[in-house]
Amino acid sequence: MHYIDSNIFIYPIVADEKTENKALLAKTLLIKIADKSIEAATSSLTWDEVVWCIKKILGSETAVKEGSKFLEFPNLRMLDVNEKVIYRAQKLIETYSLRPRDAIHMACCLENKIRDIISDDPDFDSVKDLNRITLEKTTSLGRSP
C-alpha cells in the first residue's frame, strides 16, 4: 500500500504534461492506481489541499470540478483523519518540527501502517518510519499503463 500525497493529484491539473515531466509522471502514476496496478490510499486532508490549491491557481469553478473528480477517483482508499491521527500528528510536530498538514499526512500513514508515501515534498524525509518515494522513482512501480 502506498500513501499518495496531494502534490501527485495537483501536478496533472495545473501543469502541462508535455512541458512538465512531474505532471506526466503524476498522471502515469494515477492511471496505475485507477487500473489497480498500484494499491494506494490517501486521507481526507488531501481533498482539502487539492481543492484549495486549485482554487488559488485556477479559480473556484475548476476547484469544485476537480474536487468532485478526486472524490470519485477509482481504486483509491480514503483514510479518515480522526482524533487518534491528530494526536499522533501533534507528537510528530513536537519531534520533527513539521508543518501541521505534513504531520497529519504522516500520522495518517503511520496509524494505518503504511510506510511508503509517494510525494515530491522532501519534508517527509525527516520521519525515519516513512519511506518517501519521489515521482521519478514511481516508474518502476506496478504495471506500465
User: Would you give per-residue pLDDT tens digits along the chain (145 residues)?
Assistant: 999 999 999 999 999 888 889 999 999 999 999 999 999 999 999 999 999 999 999 999 999 999 999 999 999 999 999 999 999 999 999 998 889 999 999 999 999 999 999 999 898 888 888 999 999 888 888 765 5
SS3 36: coil
Do the domain assignments include residue 123?
Answer: yes
Q: How far is CA 144 from CA 11, 36, 63, 102, 141, in A?
A: 19, 11, 29, 29, 8
For residue 62, is it within any domain? yes
Contact assessment for residue 73 and residue 36, using Cβ atoms and an 8 Å cutoff: no
Is residue 103 in a domain? no
> What domain range includes position 21?
2-78+117-140
Instruction: Say if 68 falls within a structural domain.
Output: yes
Nearest C-alpha neighbor of 127 from the set 99, 144, 142: 99
**Grid cell in block for residue 33:** 492506481
In a domain, 28, yes or no: yes
94 is a domain residue: no
Residue 108 lies inside a defined structural domain of this protein: no
The pLDDT of residue 144:
54
Specify the pTM: 0.91
Residue 83 belongs to a domain: no
Domains: count for the chain: 1
E strands, the chain, where? 2-4, 40-43, 76-79, 116-118, 131-133
